[in-house]
């Protein structure tokens, strides 16, 4: 039956989605469900009629049944724009002065972890983000708008912990204004210094928000002095930086902070051309089981509309739905508007530029080529290293990038990590097959295996480890790397014995007598023989006697007898150095 069907469709490939149920696959291939399930079982895959399998698995089954397949996707033209290209385009637009209209300022709030950045965002948008994040740290980028005096302000949220420095810099690169949050009871910290350096380098307008002023140990003037020492001079001190003393938790002076943002925005006069086709930067993306690929973007110029053909890096498609930051469906997204876009064939990468395209092209071929390059990009160049190969899946691109960054910072001359593949979405059968061929560990961050993938992993003895807190994931990887390190031998000397007499000389053993000159002699210890200030051999103490009685130890100043096992011939006047060696587990530096 399959062969007959193949003859009918020899010139036509069957389009398959990235994920499909067994039942739907049978419909697409025009074959009975039983045939599909049987073929899956031949490939050691146990899947029920309503379970989903990925494109790779579905295409293998179709191929085994004599059918050709292709991904169900639209083809688009090449010519993808980089973030550097977009910045150049924006600069040219600004210099031209044509068709420019006022737009909302884009603001990012930055600061050291625990300085109240997320609480400030919560207070501004009246939503509790911190409570919903595992471990209490903001791990994703998000964007939203607020209205003050009938004027909009766009906020881009970036994490504050050191593991997310790349994400913070991205937030800064797309922002018009930076709010630097510094705790009044803590002062300038490492991430604060990092942000200050970036702000000075890129000349980005900044407003300082000294937070937690309602705490008993708050010292805002000390904070101002510390900031001044790092080149941040306030208006009251003759500088040009506005400063607002606030309490995010107590909702103190938040309105004043928003007023200062609008004041600075009025001075800077941010504008763009909303009449042109839209250009947006991808802040986040993920693969939703029900909605498919989803991208959170920030429109930088122009207007994105429902129905437009778009590309973003290696992803492409047609916009079938746009939502604002509240989840409300909108028909278009204009400059400075954060929006969620549905309709891509795959989740685009963070920092990819969404742009409108006209006509069809060769997007799929380029996407496939670039995807293959990504799989083999990160390789360990030193073949003598012991390595842990791993496949990484995460819920969103921001998490993926942060994890890759912090794992990439783990350095060792003896052990290393080899990233085989990374991506967003659930852990699927293709991930397990890849792990099996590469003998790799599969790691999921807020990503769980599908039921089919889980059974495949159990059958193939592939280890899957999932986490919802990044630091737990990193600790586990470090622990695994530590286990690969050869243990170090630690030697502990306990005492020395001056040999005074030889009582027996055997082929491989001797009995000697002497006085403990330093420390103590311990039965069962290792012995070094020192003759004329030179170590001439080693052996082991088989027995130790004091006053002709067996004993476990003899202290300094006492005489004793030692049964020595070894091939060295001890002489009167030699020194026996008593020591022990133990293997100690090493740690990564």
How far from 65 is each of 13, 42, 44, 47, CA to CA, in Å?
13, 12, 16, 17
Residue 34 lies in a domain: yes
CB 451 within 8 A of CB 51: yes
What CATH code is carried by the domain that includes residue 120? 3.40.50.300
Same domain, residue pair 316 and 265: no
Q: Where in 357-447 does DSSP place strands (E)?
A: 386-394, 415-424, 441-445
**Residue 90 domain flag:** no
User: What is the reported pLDDT for 358?
Assistant: 67
Residue 8 lies in a domain: yes
524 plus 563 within the same structural domain: yes
Total residue count of the chain as it appears in this document: 589
- Residue 187: partners with Cβ closer than 8 Å, 6 or more residues away: 219, 222, 223, 226
Please indicate, yes or no, whether residues 119 and 262 belong to a single structural domain of this protein. yes
* Same domain membership, residue 178 and residue 154: yes
134 and 252 share a domain?
Answer: yes
Q: Long-range contacts made by residues 195-204, C-beta under 8 angstroms, separation at least 24?
A: 195/110, 195/111, 195/168, 196/227, 196/230, 196/231, 196/232, 198/169, 198/172, 199/172, 200/231, 202/172, 202/173, 204/172, 204/175, 204/176, 204/177, 204/178
473 plus 552 within the same structural domain? no
Q: Kindly state whether residues 256 and 287 are assigned to the same domain.
A: no
The rounded percent of the chain whose pLDDT value lies above 70 is 85
Within this chain, do residues 133 and 179 fall inside the same structural domain, yes or no?
Answer: yes
Does residue 407 share a domain with residue 292?
Answer: no
Do 289 and 351 have their domain in common? yes
Q: Which domain holds residue 235?
A: 104-269
Final residue of a domain: which of 431, 451, 484? Answer: 484
The verdict on 427 and 466 lying in the same domain is: yes
Cβ proximity of 258 and 150 under 8 Å: no
Asked if 488 and 584 touch (Cβ cutoff 8 Å), the reply is yes
CATH number at residue 453: 3.40.50.10050
| 366 occurs within a structural domain | no
Q: Which long-range contacts (CB under 8 A, 24 or more apart) does 41-47 make?
A: 44/456, 44/459, 45/429, 45/452, 45/455, 45/456, 46/452, 46/455, 47/22, 47/451, 47/452
Residue 86 domain-assigned (yes or no)? no
Q: Extract the residue ranges of the chain whose pLDDT is less than 50.
A: 1-10, 74-78, 127-133, 136-141, 160-164, 359-382
Q: Are residues 148 and 243 in the same domain?
A: yes
State both tokens at 183. 């705790």
Q: Are 185 and 112 in contact (CB under 8 A)?
A: no
In Å, how far are 23, 30, 211 from 5, measured between CA atoms? Answer: 18, 8, 70
Q: What's the pLDDT score for residue 46?
A: 78
Tell me the two tokens of residue 149: 């005096």
Domain end (from 484, 510, 527): 484
pLDDT digits (tens, 9 = 90+) for 165-219: 555 555 556 889 988 888 888 888 877 887 788 788 778 899 999 888 998 888 8
> Of 269, 304, 328, which one is at a domain's C-terminal end?
269
Q: Look up the CATH number of the domain holding residue 343.
A: 2.40.30.10
Helical pair 33-42 and 55-64, crossing angle rounded to 10 deg: 100
The total of structural domains in the chain comes to 5
Whole-prediction pTM: 0.55
Q: Which helix (H) or strand (E) holds 301?
A: strand 292-301
**12 assigned to some structural domain:** yes
Contacts of 560 (CB under 8 A, 6+ apart): 497, 513, 514, 515, 516, 521, 544, 545, 546, 551, 554
Q: Is residue 368 part of a domain?
A: no
Residue 78 resides in a domain:
no
**Which of 68, 2, 7 lies closest to 35, judged by CA?**
2
Given a contact cutoff of 8 angstroms between Cβ atoms, the answer to whether 220 and 153 are in contact is no
Least Cα distance to 363 among 347, 345, 377, 349 occurs for 345
């Amino acid at each position: 039956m399959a062969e007959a069907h193949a003859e009918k469709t020899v010139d036509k490939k069957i389009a398959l989605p990235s994920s499909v149920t067994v039942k739907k696959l049978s419909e697409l291939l025009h074959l009975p469900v039983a045939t599909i399930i049987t073929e899956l079982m031949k490939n050691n895959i146990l899947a029920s009629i309503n379970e989903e399998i990925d494109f790779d698995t579905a295409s293998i089954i179709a191929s085994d049944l004599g059918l050709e397949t292709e991904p169900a996707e639209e083809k688009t033209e090449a010519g993808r724009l980089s973030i550097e290209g977009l910045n150049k385009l924006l600069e040219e637009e600004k210099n031209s002065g044509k068709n420019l209209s006022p737009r909302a300022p884009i603001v990012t709030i930055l600061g050291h972890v625990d300085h109240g950045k997320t609480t400030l965002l919560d207070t501004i948008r009246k939503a509790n983000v911190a409570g919903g994040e595992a471990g209490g740290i903001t791990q994703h980028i998000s964007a939203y708008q607020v209205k003050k005096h009938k004027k909009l302000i766009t906020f881009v949220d970036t994490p504050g912990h050191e593991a997310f420095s790349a994400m913070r810099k991205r937030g800064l690169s797309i922002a018009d204004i930076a709010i630097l949050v510094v705790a009044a009871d803590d002062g300038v910290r490492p991430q604060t210094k990092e942000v200050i350096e970036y702000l000075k380098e890129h000349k980005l307008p900044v407003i300082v928000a000294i937070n937690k002023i309602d705490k008993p140990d708050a010292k805002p003037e000390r904070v101002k002095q510390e900031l001044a020492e790092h080149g941040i001079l306030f208006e009251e001190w003759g500088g040009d930086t506005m400063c607002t003393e606030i309490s995010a938790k107590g909702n103190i002076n938040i309105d004043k902070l928003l007023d200062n943002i609008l004041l600075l925005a009025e001075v800077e006069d941010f504008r763009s051309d909303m009449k042109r086709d839209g250009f947006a930067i991808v802040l986040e993306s993920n693969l939703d089981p029900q909605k498919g690929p989803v991208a959170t973007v920030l429109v930088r110029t122009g207007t994105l509309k429902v129905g437009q053909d778009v590309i973003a890096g290696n992803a492409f498609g047609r916009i079938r739905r746009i939502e604002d930051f509240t989840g409300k469906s909108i028909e278009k997204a204009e400059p400075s508007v954060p929006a969620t876009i549905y309709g891509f064939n795959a989740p685009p990468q963070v920092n990819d530029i969404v742009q409108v395209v006209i006509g069809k092209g060769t997007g799929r071929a380029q996407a496939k080529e670039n995807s293959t390059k990504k799989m083999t990009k990160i390789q360990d160049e030193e073949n003598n290293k012991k390595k842990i190969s791993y496949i990484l899946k995460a819920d969103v691109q921001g998490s993926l990038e942060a994890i890759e960054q912090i794992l990439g910072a783990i350095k060792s001359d003896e052990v290393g990590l080899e990233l085989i593949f990374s991506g967003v979405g659930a852990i699927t059968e293709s991930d397990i097959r890849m792990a099996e061929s590469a003998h790799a560990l599969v790691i999921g961050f807020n990503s769980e295996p599908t039921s089919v993938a889980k059974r495949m992993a159990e059958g193939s003895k592939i280890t899957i480890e999932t986490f919802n807190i990044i630091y737990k994931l990193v600790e586990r990887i470090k622990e695994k790397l530590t286990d690969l390190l050869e243990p170090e031998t630690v030697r502990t000397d306990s005492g020395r014995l001056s040999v005074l007499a030889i009582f027996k000389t055997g082929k491989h053993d001797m009995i000697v007598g002497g006085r403990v000159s330093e420390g103590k002699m311990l039965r069962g210890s290792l012995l070094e023989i020192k003759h004329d200030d030179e170590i001439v051999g080693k052996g082991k103490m088989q027995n130790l006697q004091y006053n002709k009685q067996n004993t476990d130890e003899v202290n300094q100043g006492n005489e004793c007898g030692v049964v020595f096992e070894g091939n060295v011939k001890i002489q009167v006047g030699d020194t026996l150095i008593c020591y022990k060696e133990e293997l100690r587990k090493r740690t990564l530096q």
